[in-house]
Amino acid sequence: MSRRITRREFIKYGAAVLGSATLVNGALYSLLSQGTGIARVADETFRTPLRFAPFTQARRIAPADDQEFRTPIRFTPFTQALPIPPVKQPGDSFTHRCALPAVSGLSAPKFYTVQMKKATAEIIPGHPETVIWGYDGLYPGPTFRVNHNEPAIVRFVNGLTVNTIVHNHGGHNSSESDGSDSVFPSQVIPPNESRDFCYGNIAPINPATHQQEISDFASTQWYHDHMMDLTGQNVYMGLAGFYLLTDELEKGLIDGGTLPADSFNIPLVFQDRVFDQNAQLVFNPGQDEFNGWLGDVFVVNGKAQPYFNVQRRKYRFRMLNGSNARWYELQLSSGQFLQIGNDSWLLPFAIPRTSIRLALAERADVIIDFRDAPNEVFLNNILEQKEGATPEGVTKPGTPLLKFIVSGLAVSNDASVVSGTTLRPHTPIRPEEIVQTRRFVFAQDHHWVINDREFDPRRNDATPKSNTAERWIFKNDGGDWSHPIHPHLEAHQIQKINGRAPPVYNSFKKDTTPLGPDDEAEVFIKFRTFTGRYVFHCHNLEHEDHAMMAAFEVVP
């Protein structure tokens, strides 16, 4: 039975954490929160049972006892440049057993090899390098840039000491290459082994025409670890990167001068981390009863509070919330965003936004116009969050995550995109296509559950028929938690949030739908191209790891 638990009074972060992190002009930045009186959990019945390979691998990455909960070191922010992850280059072909989708028009695949390994990186300026686990030893991993209909066969080699598996988030891929160990255990990559993942880089296939639905072709995916029970740890240690796709339609927008060229197209992943006195990562989510592990150091592309030099022109940023449990609401100190994409997909038209909230794993593809900007512009997080369970209210001006240093004269002939500019067409799933309604309730019952049950990889909780559309209702039964829900394989379209139409920017394609406390979302989802087993789950990585996941099987 689902049991409602009121907001607990224990294991709270110090109330001053985010307040003390607020700064605008780059003065010395104290990360040390004061007076964090950490109490032990009183409610023993609350324990997550950890039924799936509990603690078989190091969960506690660095000593993190109750007295060493917050990052005890300081640094001066905005003294180091924003790192831009390198573009992953294809290499020699290799023998593989991948089944690429049966689609006409595919070109020869490109072959990539990625080595997962331990490395070090200077995350906090002026402090020792931090041990990370990176794709190719990089944090974040290299950025894939791939073309429509040009398959990528990626061999991931595990040079770490933990099991891994790779999920290409937002991808439309076979079950085998989807990267969920729970439904495809043979794709788990044990230490010193490798597995191949085959990405067709196609759009879903319309069964009537046998043509790809170009309206559903993705732009901004990200790849990250997806090992049940270890996802939070593995992503926290650095296993995440961007996977960007493009097609003729998007190239046309760029070549025609509507969208900025690739050199002004920058990925930004926002993450929060805790460090010890030696600048090493601290991770111990059990300390907060798996509500979600929050950091107190804000990291963008693997660097704590960097700066980025920009010209007076329009830039395109792929903004990703890559944190374990922290939500963001992003706002500029001057100017506003022009949103051109939501999660993986370009929007049908550009939408101005004064601030953008990103739940876990959500992305916003935005244009920032610096032509009339002052010499310094801060990208601020105005959302307060003191515990992993859920964000709180908005606070201004918030915490600056990134400083843009703007210089030069405004360019003429800049990208032409403005509010309302047409981007990718949207083909809605129509109500008359719906053949089935399913309801999923996300709750807390000693552990994180869906419809009162924790995840069991042997069980299918839905068996949609291929080439049909369904109505899925996601209900958050908890007044104290938020859950961003992510079904694999397909986009979904939000019809209603709490009985009302969603805001326009959330009314097209999504791959992650945030549920605030007590929220109910109704979405349409259509299952195309592939049959087989997939999962959907909460994307708070601690909730996901502790059983808030379900499997579904697309059947012929």
Task: List residues binding Cu ion (CB under 5 A).
Answer: 483, 538, 540, 543
The answer to whether residues 49 and 98 touch, using CB atoms and an 8 Å cutoff, is no
Smallest distance, Cu ion to C-beta of residue 360, A:
8
Beta carbons within 8 Å of 266's beta carbon, 6+ residues apart: 82, 84, 308, 315, 316, 317, 318
Closer of 324 and 540 to Cu ion (Cβ): 540
Q: What is the closest distance, in whole angstroms, from the C-beta atom of residue 341 to Cu ion in the complex?
A: 24
Hey, what are 499's tokens?
Answer: 């009985």
Question: Do β-strands 460-462 and 549-554 pair in parallel, antiparallel, or remain unpaired?
Answer: parallel
**Residue number, 344 or 540, with CB nearest to Cu ion:** 540
Neighbouring C-beta atoms of residue 439, cutoff 10 Å: 12
- What are the backbone dihedrals phi and psi of residue 86, each rounded to the nearest 5 degrees, phi first? -70, 155
Q: Cβ closer to Cu ion: 226 or 543?
A: 543
Letter for the amino acid at 76? T
* Residue 387 beta carbon to Cu ion: minimum distance, rounded to whole angstroms: 13
- H or E element that contains 17: helix 17-21
Nearer to Cu ion, 358 or 429 (CB): 358
> In sequence order, what are the residues at sequence separation of 6 or more whose Cβ sits closer than 8 angstroms to the Cβ of residue 478?
4, 5, 442, 443, 444, 517, 518
When the beta carbons of 316 and 483 are compared against Cu ion, the nearer one is: 483
For residue 257, give Cα distances in angstroms to 412, 413, 418, 424: 12, 8, 12, 15
Query: With respect to Cu ion, which residue has the nearer C-beta, 260 or 514?
Result: 514
Distance of closest approach, residue 238 Cβ to Cu ion, in angstroms: 22
Q: By the 8 A CB rule, do 543 and 187 touch?
A: no
Residue of 13, 482, 116 whose CA lies nearest to 21: 13
Closer to Cu ion by Cβ: residue 379 or 538: 538
Non-local (6+) Cβ contacts of 52 within 8 A are: 228, 229, 455, 547
Least distance from C-beta 156 to Cu ion, angstroms? 27
Pull the structure tokens for residue 268.
Answer: 């930004």
Q: CA of 378: how far to CAs of 22, 44, 276, 363, 405, in Å?
A: 12, 44, 27, 19, 9
Q: What is the DSSP string of 254-278?
A: HHTTSS--GGGEEEEEEEEEEE-TT
Stretch (H or E) spanning 542: helix 541-545
Distances (CA, A) of 431 to 41, 434, 436, 523: 47, 6, 11, 11
Given a contact cutoff of 8 angstroms between Cβ atoms, the answer to whether 369 and 416 are in contact is: no
Identify which of residues 273 and 543 has a Cβ nearer to Cu ion in the complex.
Answer: 543
**122/445 with CB nearer Cu ion:** 445
> Which one, 195 or 483, has the nearer CB to Cu ion?
483
Least distance to Cu ion from the beta carbon of 383, Å?
A: 17
Give least dist CB 544 to Cu ion, A.
7
* CB of residue 11 to Cu ion, shortest distance in Å: 17
Question: 426 exposed, middle or buried (CB, 10 Å; 0-12, 13-18, 19+)?
Answer: middle
User: How far apart are the C-alpha atoms of 358 and 271, rounded to whole Å?
Assistant: 12
Cβ nearer to Cu ion, comparing 483 with 488:
483
Tell me how far, at minimum, the Cβ of 274 lies from Cu ion, in Å.
20
Q: Is the CB of 33 or the CB of 324 nearer to Cu ion?
A: 324
Coil, strand, or helix at residue 21? helix
For residues 163 and 178, give the distance between their C-alpha atoms in angstroms, rounded to a whole number. Answer: 16
In the bound complex, what is the minimum distance in angstroms from residue 538's beta carbon to Cu ion?
3
Least distance to Cu ion, CB of residue 540, Å: 4
- Kindly state the smallest distance separating residue 389's Cβ from Cu ion, in Å: 8
Q: Can you tell me the distance from the alpha carbon of 494 to that of 502, in angstroms, rounded to the nearest whole number?
A: 7
